[in-house]
Structure 1
Amino acid sequence: MIRFDPVDVEAARKGSRAALETLVNAAKAPVFNLAMRMLAHREDAEDATQEILIKIITHLGDLRDTELAGAWAFRVATRHLSQSARLGRVERMRLTFDDFAEDLHLGQGDSAHLGLTEMEHQLALKEVKVGCTLALLVCLSRPLRMAYILGDIFEMTDTEASDVLDVSAGTYRQRLRRARSAVSGFMQSHCGIQSAKAPCRCENRIAPALGMGRIAKGAAHLDSDQAGQMSPDEIRRDVAALETAQRSIAIMRSNPQFASAVPSLVEQFLDRIS
């Protein structure tokens, strides 16, 4: 959720550049985290975050109750990503659960010959795990994906989520049930973290992912802002957290809090209106 100080909201509505920057800084992380899980691609998520933040800034004057500004801003973000955002690069692949299952089945290989250092190996393993869960979400339609993200990753109540999406509680619950069934069923059948009987192992996805350019040796693209500040032991603990999560919901929640710099487009926009 997004939390705004009503004092900052009032000041921003009166034209305070400092207050606007404070609101942008408060909103950018939760908006970017939502966008990453919806679009599964860093650059696409950053573009969407810029668009959403500008929408929030330019429509502050429409607010009737500044005490509810944070909840309003989160609704702006969810509705933009559900209804208005351009299809991202991963979405344009039109990936289905069957397609993803085939990709997992064919894309297995031994990484022992790659000569990775321990740090490179742990970074690659983390990228594979996070990338896989994000791609899995994109197999859901946008309405089901957003329902799953709000309900099972962000842990919003039925009432909160249905209000954010402007649908009835019954419609939201139906979407969430369908999304849960699809995600848990797929992971139970294919994910080695979820089930020992499932064929896919994250370790065996490293070599194909490197070969196809989905990840890069020694680089953390999906979580780049945080990975550079982490020690090998911290990265190893992150990976272990993913491996010990036995339920699909827990695996999805164990993904990092993605981080991104203040979008340059928003800064340029603030410069124009100041």
Structure 2
Amino acid sequence: MIRLDAQQVVAAREGNRAALEAVVRAAERPVYNLAMRMLANRADAEDATQEILVKIVTNLGSVREAEAAGGWALRVACRHLLHERKRGAIEAMRLTFQGFATDLETGLSPLAERGLNEVEEKLAIDEVRIGCTLAMLTCLSRELRIAYILGDIFEVTDTEAAEVLDIDPAAYRQRLRRARGAVTAFVQSRCGLVSELAACRCERRVGQALKIGRVVKGQPNLSASLGDIPSVAEIRGRIEVIERERTSAALMRSTPHFTSHVGELVMSLVDAKSSNSSLQK
């Protein structure tokens, strides 16, 4: 999931700034995407990503085998998000699947009543869909959540995930089964993208999302660039081709890859520290 070039790792440990920047760039996106799915909030995910990247930069010299640096970086990220990162804004809501289901049933209304143009409608629907899938994950405990994210969203093998989380493979598989069962049961009974019988539809949630400020008209927050936003029909089509027991994973993987500029900030901190060290000599 995190792939770091061994030669760049070696050069970075020897003080090569370009190599260090390359390492930060390579780790930034997967770390941020992991943090987004763990914390379901951009600001919290950006803060966590910065904290993790600083740890990676600071402790890169402790990696014995440069070829194993990617796995080590993933362990650093997972350990931080599991045990050290404070509860984020969405986590503080302490959502449960039952409570989330009740929330989803509140304020459903026809999209046509919102007065949005075609572009605004597409963006708002995508914002609702992504926000829902991220919030849904926080209904799981952190231990189950990260097992599900690694296994079903990023498709890390059982052996690799167990090693990253420092648990027995059998224990990891048990966590993944529990998480997968909970998420699958929820989406199959509540999500209109997965089940035609479910009452909730992304387009019918737009009005409530606009009302309470979770979505801002015409302003992307979670979505990819507008040209990359799939329609509801396209998302449903992708999900329908997956066998039934994997529909929840297909839904979660429909969430886009998130991008950030945290790496630039981390490198500016590195440069500032280097400059201060030079002035003190």
Classify the TM-score, shorter chain. over 0.9
Which segments of structure 1 move beyond 6 Å, counting only runs of 4 or more? none
Q: Which amino acid counterpart does residue 131 of structure 2 have in structure 1?
A: G
Give the length in aligned residue pairs: 267
How much has 1:193 moved relative to structure 2? 1.1
The answer to whether the Cα contact below 8 Å between 1:192 and 1:198 also exists between their aligned partners in 2 is yes
CA distance in 1, matches of 2:113, 2:198: 24
Q: Give yes or no for the alignment of 1:243 onto 2:236.
A: yes
**For each residue in 1:208-258, what CA deviation from the matched residue of structure 2 results, as whole angstroms up to 9, or x when unmatched?**
0000000110111013xx42xx43xx42x3544422213111111111011
The answer to whether the Cα contact below 8 Å between 1:242 and 1:255 also exists between their aligned partners in 2 is no
Instruction: Give the TM-score normalised by structure 1.
Output: 0.94
Q: Which amino acid counterpart does residue 58 of structure 2 have in structure 1?
A: T
Q: Give yes or no for the alignment of 1:119 onto 2:112.
A: no
Q: Give yes or no for the alignment of 1:106 onto 2:79.
A: no
Q: Which residue of 1 aligns with 2:136?
A: 136
How much has 1:264 moved relative to structure 2? 5.2
Q: Could you say what secondary structure the match of 1:120 adopts?
A: helix
Q: Which residue of 2 aligns with 1:160?
A: 160
The answer to whether the Cα contact below 8 Å between 1:46 and 1:263 also exists between their aligned partners in 2 is no
Q: Which residue of 2 aligns with 1:27?
A: 27
Q: Could you say what secondary structure the match of 2:67 adopts?
A: helix
Q: Which residue of 1 aligns with 2:5?
A: 5
Q: Which amino acid counterpart does residue 215 of structure 1 have in structure 2?
A: V
1:14-53 matches, cutoff 5 A: 14-53=14-53
1:81-92 matches, cutoff 5 A: 81-92=81-92
The answer to whether the Cα contact below 8 Å between 2:46 and 2:262 also exists between their aligned partners in 1 is no
CA distance in 1, matches of 2:55, 2:107: 40
Q: Could you say what secondary structure the match of 1:59 adopts?
A: helix
- 5+ residue gaps, structure 1, are none
CA distance in 2, matches of 1:264, 1:7: 21
**For each residue in 1:175-211, what CA deviation from the matched residue of structure 2 results, as whole angstroms up to 9, or x when unmatched?**
0010011001111111111111111111100000000
Of residues 238-247 and 100-109 in structure 1, the stretch that sits farther from structure 2 once superposed is 238-247
Q: Give yes or no for the alignment of 1:73 onto 2:73.
A: yes
The answer to whether the Cα contact below 8 Å between 1:147 and 1:161 also exists between their aligned partners in 2 is yes
Instruction: Give the TM-score normalised by structure 2.
Output: 0.92
How much has 1:113 moved relative to structure 2? 2.2
Q: Could you say what secondary structure the match of 1:156 adopts?
A: coil
Q: Could you say what secondary structure the match of 1:123 adopts?
A: helix
1:120-269 matches, cutoff 5 A: 120-223=120-223, 226-227=224-225, 230-231=226-227, 234-235=228-229, 237=230, 239-244=232-237, 245-246=239-240, 247-263=247-263, 265-269=265-269
CA distance in 2, matches of 1:159, 1:130: 29
The answer to whether the Cα contact below 8 Å between 2:108 and 2:208 also exists between their aligned partners in 1 is yes
CA distance in 2, matches of 1:135, 1:243: 19
CA distance in 1, matches of 2:132, 2:219: 17
Alpha-carbon RMSD? 1.3
How much has 1:49 moved relative to structure 2? 0.3
**For each residue in 1:37-84, what CA deviation from the matched residue of structure 2 results, as whole angstroms up to 9, or x when unmatched?**
000001100000000000000001111000111111111111111111
Q: Could you say what secondary structure the match of 1:219 adopts?
A: coil
CA distance in 2, matches of 1:164, 1:12: 23
Q: Could you say what secondary structure the match of 2:105 adopts?
A: helix
Q: Could you say what secondary structure the match of 1:106 adopts?
A: coil
CA distance in 2, matches of 1:107, 1:180: 28
How much has 1:268 moved relative to structure 2? 3.1
Aligned-pair identity (%): 57
